[in-house]
Amino acid sequence: MKNRADEIIYLMRTHKGYGYRHIPADLLVPFVRYEWQSNRWAMITDPVDQKVLAWISWYSLDEPSLKQVQQYGLPTCYAKKIPMGPGPYLYLCNTVVREGVSHEVFRTLINMVKQENPHALSINAHLWNRDTPTWRWVNFTQTMKQGRLSA
């Protein structure tokens, strides 16, 4: 693979039961490469072979932009050229965790995002439900306050 961004894209496209298969490669590839260049991401690698175990990227949005993303999803907002403004609300846009890796790795990613963005008012995402192949909206800030995700 040419670089880590390509490794992440490969992981996203081949992950069993993952939500990225419906996103055309001509949209996903430049999207992830842009995010890689933005430095708004966190990654966990295997200490032995250095393979990517998990990766997460985010956008800092204003409240109207976050509502648009919640309603339509980020790829649709881009496709429809809906303007996005910067602000204190985080949207986790791409997350992938290698199959067979502990759930604690995902929790660690969320905590890394919190550490990088201490002034964020909320952390939000669309998550892919593997059991019933659908997207669901999650506000991690509320989830953490309820004690359902370790802070």
- Find where tokens 């593997």 sit: 130
**pLDDT over 80 (residue 146):** no
Most confident of 8-22, 51-65, 126-140: 51-65
Of 46 and 103, which is predicted with more confidence? 46
Give the model's pLDDT for residue 1. Answer: 43
pLDDT confidence of residue 151 = 38
Residue 123's pLDDT is what? 94
pLDDT per residue as tens digits for the range 87-134: 999 999 888 888 888 888 988 999 999 999 999 999 999 887 666 777
Residue 47 has pLDDT above 90, yes or no: yes
Kind and range of the H or E run holding 149? none
The overall average pLDDT reported for the chain is: 84
What are 11's two structure tokens?
């992981």
Q: Say if residue 150's pLDDT is above 70.
A: no
User: Which of these, 55, 49, 45, lies nearest to 20 by C-alpha position?
Assistant: 55
Please give the helix or strand (H or E) that residue 8 lies within, else none: helix 4-14
Which residues make beta-bridge pairs with 55? 43, 96
pLDDT of residue 75: 78
Instruction: Please indicate, yes or no, whether the overall pTM of this predicted structure exceeds 0.95.
Output: no
